[in-house]
Chains A and B, each alone.
Chain A
Amino acid sequence: MRCPRDVAIVGFAQTVHRRTSENVSETEMLLPVLREVLDRTGLAPGEAGFTCSGSSDYLAGRPFSFTLALDGVGAWPPIAESHVEMDGAWALYEAWVELLTGATDTALVYACGKSSAGDLDAVLTRQLDPYCTAPLWPGPADLAALQAQALIDAGATDETELAAVAARNRAAARDNPYAQLRGRVPMGPRRAGPLRTGDCPPVSDGAAAVVLAAGDTARRMCERPAWIRGLDHRIDPQGLGLRDLTEASSARLAAEHAGAFDAPVDTAEIHAPFTAQEVILRRALRLGPEVTVNPSGGALAANPVMVAGLVRFGEAAARIHRGESRRALAHATSGPCLQQNLVGVLEGEGP
Chain B
Amino acid sequence: MTREPVAVVGIGQTRHAAARKDVSIAGLVREAALRALADAELTWADVDAVVIGKAPDFFEGVMMPELYLADALGAVGKPLMRVHTAGSVGGSTALVAARLVAARVRETVLTVAFEKQSESNAMWGLSLPVPFQQPLLAGAGGFFAPHVRAYIRRTGAPATVGTLVAYKDRRNALRNPFAHLHEHDITLERVQESPMLWDPVRYSETCPSSDGACAMVLTGRRGAARAPHPPAWVHGGAMRSEPTLFAGKDFVSPRAGRDCAADVYRQAGITDPRREIDVAELYVPFSWYEPMWLENLGFATEGEGWKLTASGATELDGDLPVNPSGGVLSTNPIGASGMLRFAEAALQVRGRAGEHQVDGARRALGHAYGGGAQFFSMWLVGSEAPDG
Contacts and interface: CB of A to CB of B under 8 A. Distances in A.
Q: Establish whether A and B are touching in the complex (CB under 8 Å).
A: yes
Interface of A: 1, 4-5, 51, 56-58, 61-64, 66-68, 70-71, 75-86, 90, 93-94, 97-98, 100-102, 123-124, 126-131, 134, 232-239, 249-250, 253, 334-336, 339-340
Residue of A51, A85, A100, A238 with most chain B CB atoms under a 10 A cut-off: A85
B67 A130 contact: no
A124 B63 CA distance: 8
A97 B103 contact: yes
A62 B130 contact: yes
A25 to B, nearest CB: 11
B68 A238 contact: yes
B198 interface: no
Interface string B354-377: 000000000000000001101110
A79 B57 CA distance: 25
Interface stretch (B69-77, B161-169, B201-209, B287-295): B69-77
Main DSSP-derived SS at the B contact region: loop
Given A123-B63, A234-B77, A234-B79, A130 B105 contact: no
A78 B260 contact: yes
B60 to A, nearest CB: 7
B64 interface: yes
Nearest to A132: B68
B239 A82 contact: yes
B304 interface: no
B68 A233 contact: no
A235 to B, nearest CB: 5
B85 A83 contact: yes
23 contacts: A5-B1, A56-B64, A63-B125, A77-B242, A78-B241, A78-B376, A84-B82, A85-B82, A85-B84, A90-B82, A100-B103, A100-B105, A130-B68, A235-B70, A235-B76, A235-B77, A235-B78, A235-B79, A236-B70, A237-B70, A238-B68, A239-B71, A339-B70
Contacts of A76: 242-243, 246
Given A97-B99, A126-B62, A238-B67, A78 B242 contact: yes
B241 A237 contact: no
Contacts of B102: 101
B56 A57 contact: yes
Contact of B103 (A51, A101, A335): A101
In order of increasing CB-CB distance, the 5 nearest A-B pairs are A63-B56, A78-B256, A100-B103, A81-B241, A58-B63
A58 B240 contact: no
Contacts of B126: 63
A62 B126 CA distance: 9
B38 to A, nearest CB: 24
B238 interface: yes
A27 B305 CA distance: 37
B280 interface: no
A87 to B, nearest CB: 10
Interface in B257-277: 259-260, 263
A62 B128 contact: yes
B86 to A, nearest CB: 6
A233 B55 CA distance: 23
A340 B67 contact: yes
A199 B151 CA distance: 59
B352 interface: no
A250 B62 CA distance: 22
B25 interface: yes
B105 A80 contact: no
Nearest to B50: A235
Interface string B122-151: 000110101000000000000000000000
A186 B243 CA distance: 45
Interface in B145-191: none
Nearest to B244: A67
B339 interface: no
B78 A234 contact: yes
B243 A63 contact: no
Contacts, number: 177
A151 B77 CA distance: 22
Contacts of B103: 4, 97-98, 100-101
A76 B374 CA distance: 11
Given A66-B84, A77-B255, A335-B64, A236 B99 contact: no
B385 interface: no
Interface in B221-239: 238-239
A160 B45 CA distance: 43
Contacts of A232: 79
A221 B241 CA distance: 25
Contacts of B80: 233, 235, 340
B342 to A, nearest CB: 15
B96 interface: yes
A77 B64 contact: no
A58 B157 CA distance: 42
Contact of A83 (B83, B128, B246, B255): B83
B195 interface: no
B63 A67 contact: no
Contacts of B244: 67-68, 70-71
Given A5-B1, A101-B99, A235-B75, A334 B67 contact: yes
Nearest to A79: B241
Given A339-B67, A340-B67, A236 B243 contact: no
A143 to B, nearest CB: 12
Nearest to B24: A131
B35 interface: no
A86 B70 CA distance: 14
B62 to A, nearest CB: 5
Contacts of A126: 57, 61-63
Contacts of A335: 64, 67
B140 to A, nearest CB: 12
A214 B71 CA distance: 35
Contacts of A101: 3, 99, 102-103
Residue of B61, B104, B246 with most chain A CB atoms under a 10 A cut-off: B104
A340 B52 CA distance: 15
B58 interface: yes
A61 B125 CA distance: 11
B57 A58 contact: yes
B60 A93 contact: no
Given A98-B99, A130-B68, A335-B64, A67 B79 contact: no
Given A5-B1, A86-B82, A237-B71, A56 B63 contact: yes
